[in-house]
């Protein structure tokens, strides 16, 4: 049986390279590519892929939020994070969002194939480097439940925060999320109150620290 694959990454060269390599496997078929999280969610709904190769840091809607939305709608979908970030927070948040695997972008293609085979067999696959980080943190007594944006903010608040931090206007955010301008303004006030932050600039810095945006710190 052929497994449908959706590739989500904001870099075209990465998507093209993955497509070229994956389509050499007779039982894997790349059915679509997406350059941002919101498009990924839409394509997942339309095409029902068996596996999604998901970048963590993408514009418009990050990979963590996209994964959460996809798994909520289709729990059987297997999401494999493919990221340049080895930070424990990204790994934990992706797994909590419902991802079945987490690979670093410097992995060999053969490892990606192993990960796909593993998640299709209902197993979890982590890159050795990712596993080492989690084990090291556990040995050092790192808290299992960190106070992060993914615990203290709602999904919609995180979406608004990401779009704000990427420079989108209130009107454009409202249009994109299909809500009123007043609703977006209300979310912004809630964000500032919850985080004890008083400016959009500080909100942007917070979004960068929490991995909600592709902007560079």
Residue-wise pLDDT for 158-173, tens only, equals 999 999 988 899 999 9
SS3 57: coil
Q: In the prediction, which pLDDT does 89 show?
A: 81
Query: Are the beta carbons of 206 and 192 closer than 8 angstroms?
Result: no
Residue 121 CB coordination number (10 Å)? 9
CATH code for the domain defined by 149-209 = 1.10.10.10
Q: What is 3-139's CATH superfamily?
A: Response regulator (3.40.50.2300)
pLDDT in tens, 50-93: 999 999 989 889 999 999 999 999 999 999 999 988 778 888 88
Angle 42-47-48 from CA coordinates, rounded to 5°: 95
Q: Are strands 3-8 and 51-54 parallel, antiparallel or unpaired?
A: parallel
| 152-162 b/e (C-beta count within 10 Å ≥ 16 → b) | ebeeebbbbbb
**In the chain, where the domains are located:** 3-139, 149-209
């Amino acid at each position: 049986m052929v497994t449908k694959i959706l590739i989500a990454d904001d870099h075209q060269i990465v998507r093209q390279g993955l497509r070229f390599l994956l389509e050499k496997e007779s039982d894997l078929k790349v059915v679509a590519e997406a350059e941002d999280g919101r498009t990924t969610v839409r394509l997942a709904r339309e095409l029902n892929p068996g596996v999604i190769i998901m970048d963590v840091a993408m514009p418009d809607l990050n990979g963590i939020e996209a994964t959460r939305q996809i798994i909520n709608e289709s729990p059987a979908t297997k999401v494999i994070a493919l990221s340049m970030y080895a930070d424990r927070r990204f790994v934990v948040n992706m797994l909590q969002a419902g991802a079945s695997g987490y690979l670093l972008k410097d992995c060999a293609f053969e490892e990606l194939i192993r990960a796909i085979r593993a998640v299709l067999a209902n197993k979890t696959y982590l890159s050795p480097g990712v596993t080492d980080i989690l084990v090291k943190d556990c040995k050092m007594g790192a808290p299992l439940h960190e106070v992060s944006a993914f615990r203290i903010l709602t999904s919609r608040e995180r979406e608004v925060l990401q779009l704000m931090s990427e420079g989108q206007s209130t009107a454009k955010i409202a249009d994109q999320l299909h809500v009123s301008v007043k609703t977006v303004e209300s979310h912004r006030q809630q964000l500032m109150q919850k985080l004890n932050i008083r400016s959009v600039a500080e909100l942007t810095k917070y979004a960068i620290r929490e991995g909600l945006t592709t902007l560079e710190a």
